[in-house]
Structure 1
């Protein structure tokens, strides 16, 4: 995989671009009603992708505000709590959520005696990351030496489904598993599971708006592209 695709946000942006290209590809043969549908879908993809990226880069503080506590600089030990003095810090770990077809990475950490969860975009380094200090500073979130990108708002309640902790000890197979998980083909294959409903979306479009085989194929392909993009932009975890 190229170095550009190793960035945690590269894959979500790639799927967004693919969904937009699919919409654009069908515009020359679309009738006015179908064209309106394609434009609407493209605007939704653009708008939601932009919002998610803004959250990831800390432009919207609700994603991380209140997520970690602020400790006085003198109470923090430099060996266990790296980062700028006075930055919010807490000790936590990465957990993987598995719920039906949904798989996401979360940071789990205590704040004032209660556990909080923050979804983050997948990074291969998360697979082998031990319990580390979580810090936020100027919209940037770090766990240990690794910068992570929030994939949504923090939660005060445990995410639904099964939560799988990272191994407490060094896993000799961890690095190899991280490399396999980051492969583009694997990520597309896992997210493509959501596209199983695309043919039904095509049938629904034919039922509502009419059209022939071409309209059905177009609606199905667009629905499949969007179905792959949506879990990716929400922070799917292929590990």
Structure 2
């Protein structure tokens, strides 16, 4: 199951939705939190939210409500926020959710051997490259571990 986090922004012409990369601080945001549009250290657009959270957009701005059921972030107290952040923001949890896409890596490596030939080293290299690309693509697509 995959979901994507969006930041809803009130702009002059109406509302807009920006997909953002997951950050554990987003779990503590409440609807109506103030955010300023700024630039990240890479020069990309970023939203700087009240508690010092930088939310980086992972895709284009949407002027219509994204598909799916919109869910507001739950209002959490400080201890619940720490518990959820530790649970859902861990590297182990991220890999558990993103790694199933890497299962295709060996199949792509095998297909490569059938089409192009080569030996075990080439199979291993292509499989590893395909698996890493699949995990990277899952991260770029914005999977939300909560």
TM-score normalized with structure 1 length: 0.50
RMSD: 2.4
Compared with structure 1, are the counterparts of its residues 140 and 223 closer, same or farther at alpha carbon in structure 2 (3 Å cutoff)? closer
Report how far residue 124 of structure 1 moved.
0.9
Instruction: Look up the match of 1:210.
Output: 117
**Contact (CA 8 Å) 1:128, 1:175: kept in 2 or not?**
no
Report how far residue 223 of structure 1 moved.
0.7
Instruction: Look up the match of 1:126.
Output: 26
Instruction: Look up the match of 2:127.
Output: 220
Structure 2 distance, partners of 1:157, 1:103, is 17
Unaligned regions of 5+ residues in structure 2, if any? 40-44
Q: Deviations over 1:13-57 (max 9, x none)?
A: xxxxxxxxxxxxxxxxxxxxxxxxxxxxxxxxxxxxxxxxxxxxx
Secondary structure at the counterpart of residue 66 of structure 2? coil
Structure 2 distance, partners of 1:234, 1:211, is 32
Query: How many aligned residue pairs are there?
Result: 138
Q: Deviations over 1:171-226 (max 9, x none)?
A: 56333111111111111121102112222211221222122444323321221111
- Listed as ranges, the matches of 1:94-173 within 5 Å are 100=1, 102-112=2-12, 114-131=14-31, 132-137=33-38, 139-145=45-51, 146-167=53-74, 169-170=75-76, 173=80
Compared with structure 1, are the counterparts of its residues 208 and 159 closer, same or farther at alpha carbon in structure 2 (3 Å cutoff)? farther
Instruction: Look up the match of 2:91.
Output: 184
Secondary structure at the counterpart of residue 147 of structure 1? strand
TM-score normalized with structure 2 length: 0.77
Instruction: Look up the match of 1:17.
Output: none
